[in-house]
Amino acid sequence: MKKVWLIAIMLIWASSFIFIKWGLAELGPFNLAFWRFLIATPLLLFYVYFRKKSELLKFRKKDIVPLMVLGLTGVSLLYAVQFLALNYTTAINASILINSSVLFIAIFSILFLKENLSRRRISGILLGIAGISLVLSNGRISFLTGSTFFGDVLMIFDGFLWAVYTIAGKSLISRYDTEAVTAWAFVGGMLTLLPFLFIEGVQVPAQALSWVSIIFLSVFCSFIAYVVWYKALENEDASRVSVYIYLIPFFTAIFAFFLLQESITAVRVTGGILTIFGIYLAERD
């Protein structure tokens, strides 16, 4: 049954790229991110409060700045950049390139946490970079002229932001409950999303599909999937659970092909496989 739930989470997160595309048809990327967390933040906050009130209230004043940093890198900037990127690239590319976060995490762990620089990890990083390069170029020598290049680069930057969030959050997660840290990071993310609205102006969704997208992204992707994911991590080894993440690009490609009519090229399939295999090697030492 746990495997079924984990596969369900991967399906939800894979389909999020489709719903983001649909939401962006009416809303600007910053507004879509704002509406997502306007709903998701209180849901997660109340859930953690009623289940782990003592854990949620354990934080001290000195934790405010680190939590705001987590909110900025793991919520507001992360999703503002991701949604902006999906205005310029495909859902398939995005689902592959966001996994560059694992490569950044491996590099940061080596540089700042002095973790082991094994041959397997080096091979994984190099393979991942080669795969990402294939996705970026789609077989072109001059890939800077590609129609999705700007969005692809933004997605790689998004992977960088998630890596910063992960490394920066290590200290807090070692001292506090993971769900409580995430709930307060959501609050910090909501607050740091507000300045982005000045760029676009506040937009109120008028189309049903926009609301469906917002509800799906907030309730299913940012609340239910996060809760189930952390439950799985509590009961299983992280290495076993994380393997399921590799299903996301595969599921996204299927959804995007049928629902968004995105093309699947042999070069990008190869790039995706190299990227995922490189990530597999880089995070397993």
pTM for the model? 0.89
- The answer to whether the beta carbons of residues 180 and 55 sit under 8 Å apart is yes
What CA–CA distance (Å, rounded) separates 88 from 146?
11
Q: How far apart are CA 44 and CA 51, in angstroms?
A: 11
| Dihedral of alpha carbons 128, 130, 132, 138, sign | negative
- pLDDT (tens digit per residue) in 229-244: 877 766 665 556 666 7
Using the predicted structure, report yes or no on whether residue 136 has a pLDDT greater than 80. no
The residue behind tokens 């990327």 is 29
Q: What is the DSSP string of 47-84?
A: HHHHH-HHHHT---GGGHHHHHHHHIIIIIHHHHHHHH
- Using a 10 angstrom Cβ sphere, with 0-12 exposed, 13-18 middle and 19 or more buried, the burial of residue 93 is buried
The percent of residues above 70 in pLDDT, for the chain, comes to 89
CA distance 69 to 81: 16
Domain count, the chain: 1
DSSP codes of every residue in 172-240:
HHHHS-HHHHHHHHHHHHHHHHHHHHHHH------SHHHHHHHHIIIIIIIIIHHHHHHHHHHHS-HHH
CB 282 within 8 A of CB 115: no
Q: pLDDT per residue over 197-217, tens digit each?
A: 999 999 999 999 999 999 999
Asked if pLDDT for residue 142 goes beyond 70, the answer is no
Residue with the bigger pLDDT between 130 and 115: it is: 130
Q: Which domain holds residue 7?
A: 2-282
